[in-house]
Amino acid sequence: MSPDLPPVVPSVTAELVGALSARLRKRLDAGVTKLLARPVTRDGDTVRISVDDETDVVLHAPSGAVTGADAIRCGCLLAPACLHRAAAASAAPVADGTADRDPDPDGATGTRDGTAQADRPNAESEPETATPAQHAAARAVFDAAAAVLEAGTDGSGAVLQAELLHAAHTARLAGLPRACAAAVSVVSAVRAARTADPAYRLTGLADALAGVLGVAHRLPHATGRELTDLRGTARQPYRPDGSLRLYGIFSEPVLTATGYAGAVTWTADADGRLYTVSDVAPGGPARATGAADRAVRIGDTALTHRELSRAGLAVSGATVSPAGRLGAGAGVRAVRASGAAWRDAPLDRLWAVPPAEQVTRALSGAQDLLFLEVTLTGTVREATGDCLLADCAGVPLRLTTAHDDPALPCRDNLRLLAAAGGSRLRIVARLVPGPHPRALLLATEHPTDPAARVDLGLDRLQHADLPPGALAPPATDAATGDEAPLHLLRRRVHQAVPGGRRVLTLAGNAPGDSARLRRLGLATAADLLDDLHAAAADRARDTFGRLLPADTGRFARSWLAAAVYTDLVEQALCAHAWGAAADEEAPPART
């Protein structure tokens, strides 16, 4: 996947790949690899790939994304039925048409009264169960995602990706934007894995696969509110919220695997309710850093995101989405107002909530920001890099970076903060569910000036900002022990993602794994592990001893059951580690 190319909507990629002959499909992966190595030039809305000295592939993206097959043109003799157009679409990021964003400053996502037209309640016309078209679309998404899991990322070339994108397009047409977005996220993660993208994370792809399989599996059987949630909404509705007096808290960069970038600024009102102002559009790391210095798109204010994070905003005629995002409709008015320090009212009330209560709120599906007061105690070395150790009300906490892209200062700032050991700081972090208390560090008080704050993804700390004589201590090695033998199941779940079914077939069930799980009280985990290996090895033969086609559905369901179980147990362990109360009624995060 090349960040230099504009995003391409799923239907375009599916159409171009589907039009290839069987012979060209076999050559598609090699064509993508070759195209990724060729020079790319951009001229406004036009991107040109030099295939050779005489042939160019041209992509037109006037709206920031390629929305039609005719917008990708090739100058070779075989065009338009050539391999180059399909390879270009397969090499580009996937445009997520269902992304939750406000695409224009006029607030076109809502109606005049602030409510999205598609989200108006209509109990008489909305069916209680999924329609036949939605049943078929959900089945198509499940089968395509199961095929990706069957092959693993190593075997999921451009053809399998295109089949999943085609299923995503079918889901969107059937009114299933959540399934469409989940399928697109899987394709983006698979492409990141196959191109050795530094931002790729195995756990992220496993979560994405579990998410799309879970939604597609549950949707045909859902009714009522569950069905509404599984369908999702293409755009979040914006509803009137009167006048608001907001105080900036911090800004963070946005950099997604689907080719979108920008900045989001978090604010709060006097009651502690959180609101966000975002500027996200197709782009890469340069746009993520540059968006912080662009004016926010609310009213006539000239405040930039960086300035708003430390100032305030008075809004009249505000429209707000259920997630707290401020709309930018024509009737919204906003002017600059004074801000507040983190230790002053009204923002100080955010840090007055006990950490355990904040974690409980995050695990229940609400916003996952944590407002903590910590004492930095050192660093620990992990496989993915060093992370900060901190004490949070007696809880040993590990703080890691939110982004690893070298264009962002997150990693450098974390290294410098390690030299401020012993400092007691207020921070803003995002919860990472797991057996040990862990969070992504987003913003912090200045190490030497409590009245100032640092946005870790946008501001760059200097040695002069540290306390006198500060010196980063050597990192210690992370503890190798696991909190429970749950890793025996988790590692099999993760092994299947890059290697597919064949990895579990070859690995087999290590002697004693299931027995150890049962001995320590994890009988369900042991049963799931046995079933996962049995599903992987289940290959029947015909009369002549030839292997019959594998039952991808059974393997996908067994894998999904293990992934969901692991997720739920890890949430329970996370709540226990923080001293929080686990929400037994909360659905698993992945599905």
Predicted confidence (pLDDT) per residue in 20-49, tens digit:
888 888 899 998 988 888 888 888 889 999
What number is the average pLDDT over the span 296-323? 89
Which domains, from first to last, does the chain contain?
10-91 (no CATH), 239-337 (2.40.50), 353-477 (2.40.50), 487-572 (no CATH)
**What span, in angstroms and rounded, lies between the C-alpha atoms of 311 and 292?**
14
What number is the average pLDDT over the span 268-280? 92
**What span, in angstroms and rounded, lies between the C-alpha atoms of 8 and 90?**
9
Residue 121: which pLDDT band, with cuts at 50, 70 and 90?
Answer: very low
Q: How much of the chain exceeds pLDDT 70, in percent?
A: 88
The confidence score (pLDDT) of residue 474 equals 64
The confidence score (pLDDT) of residue 365 equals 78
**What span, in angstroms and rounded, lies between the C-alpha atoms of 191 and 298?**
36
The confidence score (pLDDT) of residue 587 equals 47
Residue 591: which pLDDT band, with cuts at 50, 70 and 90?
Answer: very low
The confidence score (pLDDT) of residue 586 equals 47
Task: Return the ∠ at Cα 380 (arms to 376 and 385), rounded to 5°.
Answer: 115
Instruction: Give per-residue pLDDT as tens, 508-542.
Output: 556 678 888 888 888 999 999 999 988 888 877 77
Q: Which of 191, 216, 20, 201 is nearest to 94 (CA)?
A: 191
| Average per-residue pLDDT for the chain | 84
What number is the average pLDDT over the span 549-572? 90
The confidence score (pLDDT) of residue 152 equals 92
End-to-end CA distance of the chain: 26
Retrieve residue 586's tokens. Answer: 């909360």
**What span, in angstroms and rounded, lies between the C-alpha atoms of 180 and 553?**
19
**What span, in angstroms and rounded, lies between the C-alpha atoms of 197 and 255?**
13
The confidence score (pLDDT) of residue 54 equals 83
Between 354 and 302, whose confidence is greater?
354
| Contact (CB, 8 A) for 128 and 223 | yes
The confidence score (pLDDT) of residue 493 equals 93
The confidence score (pLDDT) of residue 559 equals 95
Residue 285: which pLDDT band, with cuts at 50, 70 and 90?
Answer: confident
379 pLDDT more than 90 = no
402 pLDDT more than 60 = yes
The confidence score (pLDDT) of residue 552 equals 85
Retrieve residue 200's tokens. Answer: 């790729």
The confidence score (pLDDT) of residue 507 equals 62
Residue 136: which pLDDT band, with cuts at 50, 70 and 90?
Answer: very high
108 pLDDT more than 50 = no
**What span, in angstroms and rounded, lies between the C-alpha atoms of 281 and 356?**
35
The confidence score (pLDDT) of residue 467 equals 81
Instruction: Give per-residue pLDDT as tens, 161-218.
Output: 999 999 999 999 999 999 999 999 999 899 988 888 777 888 889 999 999 999 999 9
Instruction: Give per-residue pLDDT as tens, 443-457.
Output: 999 998 888 999 999
The confidence score (pLDDT) of residue 101 equals 38
The confidence score (pLDDT) of residue 299 equals 78
CA atoms within 13 A on the CB side of 417: 37
Instruction: Give per-residue pLDDT as tens, 220-266.
Output: 999 888 898 898 887 777 888 889 999 999 999 998 766 678 999 99
The confidence score (pLDDT) of residue 328 equals 81
78 pLDDT more than 90 = no
| Contact (CB, 8 A) for 423 and 467 | yes
- Report which DSSP code applies to 464: G
| Contact (CB, 8 A) for 198 and 267 | no
**What span, in angstroms and rounded, lies between the C-alpha atoms of 309 and 290?**
15
369 pLDDT more than 50 = yes
**What span, in angstroms and rounded, lies between the C-alpha atoms of 439 and 431?**
5
Q: How many CB atoms lie within 10 A of CB 121?
A: 7
Instruction: Give per-residue pLDDT as tens, 479-491.
Output: 544 456 888 899 8
Residue with tokens 């009300």: 393
Residue 110: which pLDDT band, with cuts at 50, 70 and 90?
Answer: very low
From 37-51, 101-115, 336-350, 433-447, the region with the lowest mean pLDDT:
101-115
Retrieve residue 33's tokens. Answer: 């690899």
Residue with tokens 């180059």: 84
Cβ-in-10-Å burial (0-12, 13-18, 19+) of 422 comes to exposed
The confidence score (pLDDT) of residue 212 equals 95
Q: Which of 314, 290, 318, 295 is nearest to 305 (CA)?
A: 295
| Contact (CB, 8 A) for 524 and 176 | no
